[in-house]
Structure formats: C-alpha cells, structure tokens
Chain A
Amino acid sequence: MSHQLGRVVSEILHRYFGELVQQVGNDLFIYGSKPISMIVKTTGLPRKQVIESLRTLLKFDLASFEPSVHEVVADYKLLPDNVLLLIRYPRYLLQIKSKYGTEAELLVEELLQQATSTATGLLVTVATKNKDDKEKNITILKLRDTFVSLATAGYIQQAPVADTKEGSSDVPSLVPVATIVPDLDTRQLLHAMTTGSLADIKDNIYWKVNYDRFHQDFRDDIMVKAMTRRIDDNAGELMRLLLQQMYLSSAAWAAESNPTPALDIREAVRRAADKSLLSQHVDHYLKVLEENGAGFVRRVGDAGGGQLVVCGRRAAGRLLEAVLDHVVTERLGSNAARIFRLIRAKKYIEEDDIQKHAMLPNKECKELTYKLLEEHFISVQPMRKAASAGGMAKAIYLYHIKTHDVAHTAQELCYRALHNCLRRAAHERNKHARLRDKQRRVRTIVHGMRMRGEPQQNIDDVEETLTPPELALLKDVEKRLKQLSAAELELDRNLFILNWYFMYSK
C-alpha cells in the first residue's frame, strides 16, 4: 500500500470510470475503510454521486464493505489489487481466445464488462449482439456449450451471494458459493432469443469471471516458457504435463506441490504422443529438468520410479531474480549486474572480494557497488569489533541482498512506470481529444451513409473533411497510444511475477 500504488490506482480508475469514481477511490485509498457519510465529507461530492461511485466499485469487485463498529452502517474499503487487474483484461481475452476460441472470448468480454450477469442474460446478450455477423457464425447453442465448458474449467464462477442467515447484522455479507455447472434449457434460450425478452426465464444465479484461474494459466505459461528457453521445447512440454499432474493433487498456488509419481508423468507423455523425442527419453528429460531446470522441479523420493515435486515458491524466486537481473543490467550496466549476481551467489561478501571475483578495475567496481547500494538493490552490514579500542579497528562491511526488499524496490519502480504510461496516455488523449472526436463523428456519418447506400461521391465529400495533416497526426497519435498500451501490458506481466513472489513471502 504505497504512495505509488495509490497514484496508479487513481489513474486507472480515472481511465475506466471517470473523475467521480477516481475521487472516491482516492479517498478510500488514503483513509483505508470508512462509511459513506465520511466519504461525502472529505470528497465534498453530493451523497448521491458518492453512492453511485461506490456502487460501481462494488459491482466490479474493486471495493469491499463490512459492518462498522455500530453494526448498522457499512465501512467501505478499496481493493487496489483488483483495480490493477483492470489493465489485465486484454490478456484474459487473448488467453481465452487461444484456448477456447471466439465464442469464449465474446462471452468473457461481455462478462468482464458487466461484472456479473446471469447465464441466460449473458448468452442472449452476446447472441443478439452478434446476430448479424455472418463471418463469425455465432449461434446461441454454440455459446451455451462454450459457457458450460468455461464453467467446468473454472474460468467463470458463481458470484458470491448475500448472507441471509438469521441473526446477522443489517449490513449483509457476501459469501462465496460452490460453482455448479448449469444445465441450461435450449428451448427457453431460443425462445428468449426470438422474443428478445428475458422476463419468462427465472434465472437468479449470477456469474463472474474467475481471475485466479486465468492467473494459473499465466503462471504455467511463464514456467513452461522459461524451461523452453533454458533447455528445449520438449522440456517445456514436460513441464506443462507436470503442472497438469500437479493440479490433480495439490492446491494451485502451493509452495511445493504434492509428490507426483514419475510413472504418471510417463503415462501422460505417452498419451500426448505427438512428441516422439520426448516420449523416447522421458526419464532423461526428467533428470535434466531436475538438474538444470533452475530448481523448478525437485525429486523427493524413489518410490514408484521417482516422486517429483513442482516448487512454485522456488520458481517464483528464480523468476524474480531474473527480473531483477534484467532491471539492474538496464539501469546500471552489465558490470553492475555482474556484481549484483556475485553478491547473490556469495550471500555475504566484502568489498575486496567483490573486486577479486568480478574481475573489474578497482575504481569502477567500487563505483558500481555504491551505485547499487544507492538505488537499494543491495544492502550493507557493518561488522565492528566491539572490544577494540580507538579508531584503529577496521570495520568489515558485508554486502548482501535482501531479496524481499529489492522486490519491493522493483515493484515501486513498476508502479511508477505504469503510472507514467497511464498518465502519458491520458495526456495524449486529452491533447488530441477534439481531433479524435471529429474522426469518430466522420466515421459514424460515413458508416450511416454506407448503410443507406448513398452515392460514393457524397461519402468522399464527408471523408475529406479530415485533412491530410489531420489524418497524419491522428495516425501518429494512434501509434503512440498503441505503444503505450502495449507497454502497460508488459508492465502488468512484470508485476504479475513480482506479485507471485510476494504471495509466498507473506
């Protein structure tokens, strides 16, 4: 909960929900949890607008509430981690599209936009929206099947419901419910499609996107890619199979999975038999993965042909180290990165020894070490001999790395960078708002004219209201915004690894 996080969250809220929500969000971020009347007082907004903003925040699960000490009013609290997820939406869509196809993408997109929705409501909306799109050929039956498979795979889940138990206070509390894969009546759906009204269907189960399931996918992807880079494609494939086996027996984010017998892995490899090289050398690959795979996999026993464990905690640690290495390399140069790694490898090391091992000129080495210290990548521990008299006793300075602290440094940097990207994008949008508005209007008009079948001459006339310099400028702005949003996604990926590391250190 740092100042930088507050700035990022504020920018994100501004982009997605506008100024009012941003103000309320800021207020909540600064003060922690507080009731509505207090928010009204500090923000100076009308009560109605505050309530409206809070409703938005609660709907998208960006804030939570709980009964205050008086038990009659609720205290509201912002959930900054969930706000950060807003910029991850494009990645969710890409992931689901590559796994389940276009229908799934449409469903998830709609669900993300609505935050929560009933199954039938969602299906009918998506089907109606894409009714005219001949290319995609979306039918409600296909959508229903996709919905069921998404629910089965856990990408969507039932939204928590209000606790209606006796004796609870005036403020309801939300309790999560186990997801039951729905059985949707085809005939009812088709009927609703034709009539266009949902009034006949009694469906009061609400659904929402299960972010955690997506995050598991992202995590797996990172691990598999890392192994592919370190060893080869087959090792990556093997890592994927190992992770699949892990899901069968352990919690998804376990620091260390329950042991999986190598026999099961061999069986799984045989079933996925398109990799002939992998199935030929499963045992060898397991051994190499274990010995050269950066400690992602560990052998715990020899029973049943070997027992393997996937070490999520260590993997996160290693990936964090890789991130930090990159950051140090880019910020202070490759020689600084060498010193950084050297200190990490030796745990505690004296300045003289750094020079000896890093093979750098004395002066440069000292300079880089102090720079690293200045930017909080390394720490120093002075060791003074207590009993010695006078100033003659030389203190020993031991350099070391506090991984957790450095990870926080990196996180702060990420927040700063993300804030700057968001801010810059907002600035670019504001600066060229008039032009972008004009372009949008021209497009709508042209679209309308095309629909009405007006002559090409007239359409051209309208299009020419945008002059060539304007068009060039628009293209330039478009490119900048694209680059900025790509950067935001990359930063989000970076933050994902950092958060994964922090998950275990709590």
Chain B
Amino acid sequence: MSSNKNDDPISDKILNIAKKNPKGISDKDIIAAVPDLSSAELVAAINKLLQQGVFDLFNQGGSLIYRLKAQTSKQAVKGADNEEKVVYNLIEEAGNKGIWIRDIRVRSNLANTQLTKVLKSLESKKVIKAVKCVNASKKKVYMLYNLEPDRSISGGAWYQDQDFESEFVDILNRQCLRFLQQRADKIKNNPKGPILGRTQSFATAVEVQKYITDLGISNVKLEVEDVVTILNTLVYDGKAESNVYPDGSKVYRAIESLIPPPGLVQVPCGVCPLVFKCCSTGLVTPQDCKYMDEWLEN
C-alpha cells in the first residue's frame, strides 16, 4: 500500500482506522483513535493525505467523511486531471454492466462537451471502452477496458457485434433436434419396457452440449446454459418435450405432434392471405381463386 511511503506516524494511524472502516471515517473517529492530536496537526495530516489522493472526501449529514480509495483506481488514473478521475470512478462503479453517457453527465455534473473530451482521452489511454448494447442499438455504455461485458449487454454467445446470429441459432437448433431424434425411437416397442425406453430416449443438456462440441460446428465455446436455451426453443417449436429427472436435471426428448396436419392447413384457404377478403361475389371468390386452381391442378 502506498501508505508505506508515509513516514509520518499520524498518517499511518489514520490510514489504519480508515482501512478498518471501508465505509469511511469522520473527524470524530480519528480523534477517538488518535486522542493526543492537536486539531492543527490533524488538519495538516488529512490535507496531506487528500493531496496524495488516498482519501475521497464526502459530505454526509453535515459532517465530513473520509473514505479510503480503492488501490487500483489510484494507479490507473495516474497523471489524470480531476474530471477524468471523477468520470473514471463513475465508470468503475458501474462494473461490467457499463454506464450510459447521460448517467455520467448527470452524476458528474460536467458539461457535455467537456465530458466527451474526457471520455475520449480515457478511451485513447485504453483505460475504458465503449460497448454497444444489444437491447438498444444506439445506446453506448462505458466500462473499464479490462472487463468482459455482462450477458445482458453483449447478449452472450448468440451475438456478434450486437447482431443476433439467427443462422447460427438455427443450425444449432437443427443439430440438437437431430440428436434428440436419434434417441426418440427407443421408446417405441422397446423390448425392455417403456420406462427404460423412455429413459433411453431422454437426453440431458450436458449430453447435447458434448455432442455439439464434438461436431465442431461452433467456434465459440458453448456453455451448458446456452445449450439449454437452444433446447428450450425446440420445446417451443413443439418438437421436443422436457422433463425433470429426480436429481433435478432437465432432460429433453423429441416428440411428434399429437395429430397429423389437420384439414384446415391442407386446403389453400387455411393458408390463404386473402381468406378474410373472400366473398361469394366480387373480386375474390372461391370460383375464380388462383390458389385453388393451382391446388386442383396437381
């Protein structure tokens, strides 16, 4: 810790109390800890520490609070001016969720132009970076350079530069289904009984993940929870059903729809975009329907 540089015993003592109370200390705490201190000495010591940038100064309920700064921040903003420090701290606070430029402006009380300048300078120093948010394409959030953006910001494995990779998802969806379908037939007339057959036709997410990884279709490492998301889309597609094993793990099984395509979708009217405009007379009628003609031809 930088406090080691301080030969001053008073500063050392104050730092020690501050370390014990990460929420910050007040004047009273210091006086209680170092009782044989004149107020002039105390002020001199604190001023020195503040100059060194060891403390942050806060006004809480009318009394001043000194809080020890985290070590990293102190190192990172070396050679920065005050505005940069303030902005840096705000960004650091936000963690890997990032912080929106408007929020920085409001909380730092800096003018727009000045803030942009500050952010630019920080960015050029590679201290912070701007990340585009997947939910709102125009919204940019700032976070420390070394942080990995949160899933809610980057969108996880399914996003490449905040573009959703629907083809990738589709391919995975199909591969998962194929894997499940390979097993699905085992329940049919299984000589060992249906319960065993059912167990064999189930696949856990871990098994599916292994299959997908072995296929090597993905250059991104897929976590089990990513595979679960894909498997859930299969459930929503009505092509699989999920069940829970006694040990709490989720298992999946390929299924077929309960009924073959019903009559409504076998006739052109069931899929006709004009069906609600179709009348007995007028321009759209079943008698002269082009779709019906085509359907009846083949």
A interface, CB within 8 angstroms of B = 7, 222, 225-226, 229-235, 277, 280-281, 284-285, 287-288, 291-292, 294, 318-319, 322-323, 325-327, 329-331, 334, 337-339, 341-342, 345, 352, 357-362, 364, 410, 413-414, 416-417, 419-421, 423-424, 427, 479-480, 483-484, 487, 489-495, 497
Contacts and interface: CB of A to CB of B under 8 A. Distances in A.
B166 interface: yes
Nearest to B262: A494
B278 to A, nearest CB: 7
8 contacts: A235-B194, A285-B194, A287-B194, A338-B236, A341-B237, A420-B267, A421-B269, A492-B263
Contact of A417 (B135, B169, B236, B269): B269
B287 interface: yes
Interface stretch (B1-9, B50-58, B227-235): B227-235
A330 B271 contact: yes
Interface string B132-145: 00010000000000
B258 A319 contact: yes
Contacts of A338: 233, 236-237
A226 B258 CA distance: 5
B194 A225 contact: no
B189 A233 contact: yes
B164 interface: yes
B166 A361 contact: yes
A292 to B, nearest CB: 7
Contacts of A277: 189, 191
Contact of B236 (A7, A225, A326, A358): A358
Nearest to B285: A423
A281 B194 contact: yes
A378 to B, nearest CB: 14
A353 to B, nearest CB: 12
B191 A490 contact: no
Nearest to B173: A359
The secondary-structure label for the interface of chain A is: helix
A417 B292 CA distance: 11
B95 interface: no
A359 B233 contact: yes
A421 B51 CA distance: 89
B263 A493 contact: yes
Interface in B186-213: 187-189, 191, 193-195, 198
B270 interface: yes
Contact of A357 (B189, B191, B236, B238): B236
A326 B292 contact: no
B270 to A, nearest CB: 6
B166 A491 contact: no
Interface string B274-287: 01001010000111
A416 B292 CA distance: 14
Contacts of A284: 193-195
B189 A232 contact: yes
A17 to B, nearest CB: 19
Contacts of B289: 420, 424
Contacts of B194: 231-232, 234-235, 281, 284-285, 287-288
Given A232-B188, A234-B194, A361-B166, A323 B262 contact: yes
Contacts of B235: 341, 345
Contacts of B29: none
B179 interface: no
Nearest to B256: A229
A223 B89 CA distance: 66
B127 to A, nearest CB: 32
Contact of B238 (A7, A222, A337): A337
A329 B239 CA distance: 13
A331 B267 CA distance: 12
Given A423-B286, A490-B263, A483 B296 contact: yes
Given A233-B189, A284-B195, A427 B287 contact: yes
Given A413-B275, A424-B289, A487 B259 contact: no
